[in-house]
Structure 1
Amino acid sequence: MFPLNQWYVAGFVWELQDKPLARTLLNRPVVMFRTESGEVAALEDRCCHRSVPLSCGSLEDGGIRCGYHGLLYAPSGQCIEIPGQVKIPGKACVKAYKVAVRNEIIWLWLGETADSQPVGQPPEIAAHDNPRYKYKGGVFHYDAPYQLIHDNLLDLSHVGYVHTKTIGGNAKTHMEAPTNVTSDGDNVRVVRWMKASQPPATYSAAWPFKGKIDRWQEIDFHVTHLNIFTGAVDADTESLEDPNRGGFHMRGFHGITPETETTSHYFWTMASSSHPDAPDNLELVYQQTAVTFEEDRVIIEAQYRNMCQFENASMIDIHVDAGANRARRIVAMLSQQAEQAA
């Protein structure tokens, strides 16, 4: 079981063009589409007639038409037309998921029961609408369980080893960075500082630092996504405790949604600030971030393959695992609640 009664990331609005978009989310085959009025709909990916995936069909003004016998479904999931047949059976419908769009992110409410109602709105990702930043993002598919991605993002000590050509820097500095881990309800926060360190390649390319930098990593874990605020200022110029500090900012959004127990979707964006006297750095930051996340995907998939090979081998914890272990306890507790409700 997965934690339920949650808003999960299902995609981005820019992915919905003139064709249906099929995705499996928490073992649920879903088809998403956008109507001419801009409404985003998500239905179970199955025609109620002969179970052909609706994602094999086409979009029309009224909704989505099955590509097998032409049944037309409204965004509500109700069949509203059967070619050659006047009467539409009352049971001619499919499940419709509750959808919300915020900051160009598509969220689906996945409840413990069929009548579970959303608790509030999906979270705001404020950097997407902040004029200080420009952002761009994408989607990765992982052949690995989603909690391995949580582990990776909550433990950025790996950056100095895995991402040597982009955001890495000195590996020893990363491993020895002062780290503060706190939790509040279902959320975990990890704050790491690396003062007087050498700027990594991505930082030097994106911002005109004068020499050494004071660098920060602020990771906020939520059950269905993480927000990671990283960046740097010239060493000894500003307090890292100042929420309004300047310098180079990278605000990452990471929507981690299970596809199945062993595969995952990773929806991400990176919003960055540009120096007023330097060229816009959006494309550079985007490209280097994509390279960085691809490096993570390769190593996490290799990790999972090896975990399957050494199925009964024990693993130890070290000091960098505190945040990830707290997150795992939260997910385990919520998953147990979902299983009991089911």
Structure 2
Amino acid sequence: MNTVTQVPLSELASSARSAFVLDQWYVAAFAWELQDKPMARTLLNQSVVLFRTPDGAVGALEDRCCHRSLPLSCGTVEGGGLRCGYHGMLYAPGGSCIEIPGQERIPAKARVKSYVVAEKNHIVWIWMPKEEGAAPSKPAPDYAWHDDARYRFGGGVYHYDAPYQLIHDNLLDLSHVGYVHQKTIGGNPRVHMTAGMEVGGEGDTVRIVRLLPDTLPPPAYTAVWPFKGGIDRWQEIEFEPNHIRIWAGATDKDSEPLDDPQRGGLHLRGFHGLTPETETTSHYFWTMSANSHPEMPDNLDKVLQQIRSTFDEDRVVIEAQYANMRRFGEAASWVDIHVDAGGIRARRIIERLRKQGE
């Protein structure tokens, strides 16, 4: 029997309004975003400039020259690092000033805050420590699907006028796709709301498995895979505090067991890097890795087109949701239903980690 509870909206949104989880890796950029120019990005309320040196190394600095505070993102990338666009002070990726044009002596205080970054699987991660200068206590996450020869991938970056945990809620509750995404990945809304769902996980993770046997393929699936008719569909979601992985897909009805990890059919492996910009705005870094059918070998462009349309629909809903939360304020409350189990677990993990960092 499902239990319905009323929870004050202020409690559910508390972690979005308070300090972020620190001593944590967050997605800062995709590798392809860093070319020959510096890029400004606000991450967890920190103004950061990201850049790639000519030898391929990635740097991340406080976006402020220590001389007269011009954003370093207004400067240029050179062999030794990043040169300020005001008076030409050159900063190494570690934050120290290594050249002042017209002046041999470099003051010891001529440096800016630097961040530890790691580039893995085409993702640039940034370590956000509780104590400035503290080294990472764990390696940056792996995402091997970007380098798996069985898949091709593409992606992009969204900006949300909403706290990042509202995006967590959306991704951890895929029952909404039948209502929000009728033109793309949706399907019969009642099938999505009544699908079998297992929720588990340990430590700082949440795992959700949803199975939808004997259903009709949605438009996004038929556009990229030649299904014969009805399909057996799955959605496997894995949450960590800094990103979410979703393996979705389908096989022809009754062709393969849905619990076989080696099952065939259409595979859509989504990466969702959710990084707070501020307490009320977010960066959403996404990719989709897809396989292809011999009859439709060039399906990636269509896959990405469908996924972008899906995320456009989600952003409209989430930003409207947050606008209404602000409109109703403390007078509002949320009622939990059976599909919220994963999101509630994730919020509890974030709150526990946030409190540990206080």
Select the residue among 260, 275, 287 that pairs with 2:293.
Answer: 275
Post-superposition offset of 1:15: 0.4
Kindly report which structure 2 residues correspond to 1:1-342, keeping only aligned pairs within 5 A, or say none: 1-312=19-330, 313-339=332-358
- The equivalent of 2:4 in structure 1 is none
Q: Distance in 2 between matches of 1:314 and 1:142?
A: 22
Post-superposition offset of 1:120: 2.8
Q: Distance in 2 between matches of 1:293 and 1:224?
A: 19
Which amino acid in the other structure matches residue 320 of structure 1? Answer: V
Q: Distance in 1 between matches of 2:79 and 2:312?
A: 38
Q: Distance in 1 between matches of 2:271 and 2:346?
A: 17
SS at match of 2:94: coil
Q: Distance in 1 between matches of 2:182 and 2:131?
A: 46
Post-superposition offset of 1:52: 1.1
Q: Distance in 2 between matches of 1:86 and 1:125?
A: 45
Which amino acid in the other structure matches residue 257 of structure 1? Answer: T
Post-superposition offset of 1:134: 0.3
User: Alpha-carbon deviations, 1:160-201, whole Å to 9, x = none?
Assistant: 111110100111100000000002100000100000000000
Q: Distance in 2 between matches of 1:153 and 1:119?
A: 28
Post-superposition offset of 1:95: 1.0
Q: Distance in 2 between matches of 1:198 and 1:28?
A: 46
Which amino acid in the other structure matches residue 355 of structure 2? Answer: Q
Post-superposition offset of 1:146: 0.4
Dislocated runs of 4+, deviation >4 Å? none
User: Alpha-carbon deviations, 1:237-283, whole Å to 9, x = none?
Assistant: 11111111100000000000000000000000000010023232100
User: Alpha-carbon deviations, 1:300-330, whole Å to 9, x = none?
Assistant: 0000000000102111101110000000000
SS at match of 2:270: strand
Could you list the runs of 5+ residues in structure 2 that have no partner in the other structure?
A: 1-18
Post-superposition offset of 1:122: 1.3
Q: How many residues align?
A: 339
SS at match of 1:80: strand
Post-superposition offset of 1:71: 0.7
Which amino acid in the other structure matches residue 329 of structure 1? Answer: R
SS at match of 1:280: coil
> Which moves more between the two structures, 115-124 or 293-302?
115-124
User: Alpha-carbon deviations, 1:104-128, whole Å to 9, x = none?
Assistant: 1000011111242212321111110
SS at match of 2:357: helix
Q: Distance in 1 between matches of 2:256 and 2:322?
A: 41
Q: Distance in 1 between matches of 2:294 and 2:277?
A: 41
SS at match of 1:184: coil
SS at match of 2:329: coil
Q: What is the TM-score with the length of structure 1 in the denominator?
A: 0.98
Which amino acid in the other structure matches residue 256 of structure 1? Answer: L
